[in-house]
Amino acid sequence: MRSTRAAAVGAATLSLALAVSACGGGTSTGGGSDASPKTLTYWASNQGASIAVDKQVLQPELEKFQRQTGIKVKLEVVPWSDLLNRILTAATSGQGPDVLNIGNTWSASLQATGALLPWDAKNFARIGGKDRFAASALASTGAPGKDPAAVPLYSMAYALYYNKKIFADAGLTRPPATWAELVADGRKIRQRGKQALGAEGSNPSENIHHVFVLAKQHGADFFTPDGRPDFTNDGAVAAVKQYVDLMAKDKVVPPGNAEYAQNQSVSDFAKGRTAMLLWQSAAANLKSQGMKESDYGVAPVPVQSGSPGTGTQVNSMAAGINIAVFKNTHNLDGATRFVKFMTGDAEQKILNKAYSSIPPVTSAQSDPAFAAPATAVLRDTLARSAAALPQVVDESQFETAVGTAVKELFADAAAGRAVTTASVKARLQKAQQQMPAK
């Protein structure tokens, strides 16, 4: 009898508890508070060779922060494949980290969701002012004319990595400076039985980074100045065709690379199978795959003619990672202090060295470590010839739509189908139709 009653009470209580907990979710939609001043949650993007490497790099720094402020930071390193979806989910539910890393190209898209704390003059003052950051890095923190949605943390640029031995064997004395030279050098390398240039044909984001730069070199853009998609203008079509032609017509990119999406092209380069690689801040990655720094050289990404600069001489996107504060944070003060800590000179030097990136904080750039030849190329590219990807709210849709179009064109090229101006234009037309209606 007693057990029956106990079971009844238990069942009723459990049902009640379930009902209550179901209603409990998603109630915190406030605008940030200081409810829990002693802890912070931090979502870091995966910058090192693996998530374990990132934890090794970041954990000592977080402990340093705890010693200085008494605030304990709970770290989670989120892989790139999950990061954007995790942020979207956090934005929807209001349950997320206090501080997080975002790819700098997502800034305007995420800014539009209203989930991130805007960095107005007052907030910037709390971390030492806007002037501490390089202008090129600040250009990728949100839509123009609005308060930035994030603060630059690491800056990266594309460079041409080349295998010194393969170049010497092919009788080449210096890396190519123009695309025509790259194609000619690639032919010589192929005659020696090596692959010339690696590419990640099935990775939409990588494709975008390259065709964006090539479009700049053709004097074109994928968006009109007022932010409307304009994928089929002549310059954009020529840019996409030039990139896919590296495989289709010039044969410097091997067909197998059309299905690469998991950084296989970096492995190929590290293992000495490919002579050249266009990649952003690859040093740490190559080192972790066992390639010695003396085995490869670093040169600026080729241009159509002349030397890198602004306008049509752009040869890299202004790549990088921004750090943002989640608007629903329970520790606004602590979050701001953490951003100040991470963008301080000392941490900027330590972290950017570990990730072979460039500090977006100008006062930290003077460290001799960033003047080594390999890093100097990246630093100079960022300073002189890098351009920010379009800071429009539809940026992430653009990456997927056009990046996928390039992927399909690579698939055509790999299958031996002709890649023509008309076929490129048709794919881009389709990509443009997929963009959200305005």
Partner 1 sequence: MTTTVETGKSAVSHSSPGAAAPGPRRTGRLRRGSLPYLLLLPALALELLVHLVPMVIGITMSFKELTQFYLRDWGAAPWSGIGNYRVSVDFDAPVGRALLHSFLVTCGFTVLSVGLCWLIGTAAAICMQDAFRGRGLLRALFLVPYALPVYAAVITWVFMFQHDNGLVNHVLHDQLHLTGKPSFWLIGDNSFVALLVVSVWKGWPFAFLIVMAGLQTIPRELYEAAALDGAGVWQQIRRITLPSLRSVNQVLVLVLFLWTFNDFNTPYVMFGKAAPEAADLISVHIYQASFVTWNFGTGSAMSVLLLLFLLVVTGVYLALTSRGRRAADA
Please report, as ranges, the residues that interact with partner 1 according to CB under 8 A: 1, 4-5, 7-8, 11-12, 14-16, 18-19, 22, 29, 85, 88, 91-92, 94, 109, 112-115, 201-202, 204, 255-256, 258-259, 261, 327, 393, 396-397, 400-401, 403-404, 407-408, 410-412, 414-415, 430, 433-436
Minimum distance, C-beta of residue 85 to partner 1, in the bound complex (Å) = 6
b/e burial code for range 333-368 (CB count within 10 A of at least 16 → b) = ebbbbbbbbbbbbebbbbbbbbbbbbbbbbebbebe
Q: Give the residue with the Cβ less far from partner 1, 68 or 92.
A: 92
Minimum distance, C-beta of residue 209 to partner 1, in the bound complex (Å) = 16
Q: Give the residue with the Cβ less far from partner 1, 207 or 217.
A: 207
Minimum distance, C-beta of residue 4 to partner 1, in the bound complex (Å) = 6
Name the 3-class secondary structure at 307.
coil
- The 8-class DSSP code of residue 154 comes to E
Residue 240 and residue 406 in contact, taking contact as beta carbons nearer than 8 Å: yes
H or E element in which residue 108 lies: helix 107-113
Q: Give the residue with the Cβ less far from partner 1, 126 or 417.
A: 417
- The 8-class DSSP code of residue 223 comes to B
Q: Give the residue with the Cβ less far from partner 1, 227 or 255.
A: 255
Minimum distance, C-beta of residue 367 to partner 1, in the bound complex (Å) = 38
Residue 185's Cβ-side half-sphere holds a number of Cα atoms within 13 Å equal to: 25
Minimum distance, C-beta of residue 247 to partner 1, in the bound complex (Å) = 12
Burial label, 144 (beta-carbon count in 10 A; 0-12, 13-18, 19+):
exposed
Q: Give the residue with the Cβ less far from partner 1, 107 or 343.
A: 107
What end-to-end distance do the CA atoms of the chain give, in Å? Answer: 68
Q: Give the residue with the Cβ less far from partner 1, 11 or 371.
A: 11
Minimum distance, C-beta of residue 5 to partner 1, in the bound complex (Å) = 7
Minimum distance, C-beta of residue 347 to partner 1, in the bound complex (Å) = 30
Q: Give the residue with the Cβ less far from partner 1, 347 or 394.
A: 394
Residues in contact with 123: Cβ distance below 8 Å, sequence separation at least 6, in sequence order: 117, 336
Q: How many CB atoms lie within 10 A of CB 24?
A: 8
Minimum distance, C-beta of residue 437 to partner 1, in the bound complex (Å) = 8
Residues in contact with 234: Cβ distance below 8 Å, sequence separation at least 6, in sequence order: 218, 220
Q: What is the residue-wise DSSP string for 287-302?
A: HHTT--GGGEEEEPPP
Residue 105 and residue 280 in contact, taking contact as beta carbons nearer than 8 Å: no
Minimum distance, C-beta of residue 9 to partner 1, in the bound complex (Å) = 9
Q: Give the residue with the Cβ less far from partner 1, 59 or 89.
A: 89
Q: Give the residue with the Cβ less far from partner 1, 230 or 345.
A: 230
Residues in contact with 318: Cβ distance below 8 Å, sequence separation at least 6, in sequence order: 104, 136, 137, 139, 140, 155, 157, 382, 386, 387, 388, 389
Q: CA–CA separation, 40 vs 341, rounded Å?
A: 13
Q: Give the residue with the Cβ less far from partner 1, 61 or 394.
A: 394
Minimum distance, C-beta of residue 80 to partner 1, in the bound complex (Å) = 12
DSSP H helical ranges for 278-369: 283-288, 332-342, 345-354
Q: Give the residue with the Cβ less far from partner 1, 22 or 121.
A: 22
Residue 320 and residue 357 in contact, taking contact as beta carbons nearer than 8 Å: yes
Strands 158-163 and 296-299: antiparallel
The dihedrals phi and psi of 159, each to the nearest 5 degrees, come to -145, 165
Minimum distance, C-beta of residue 257 to partner 1, in the bound complex (Å) = 9
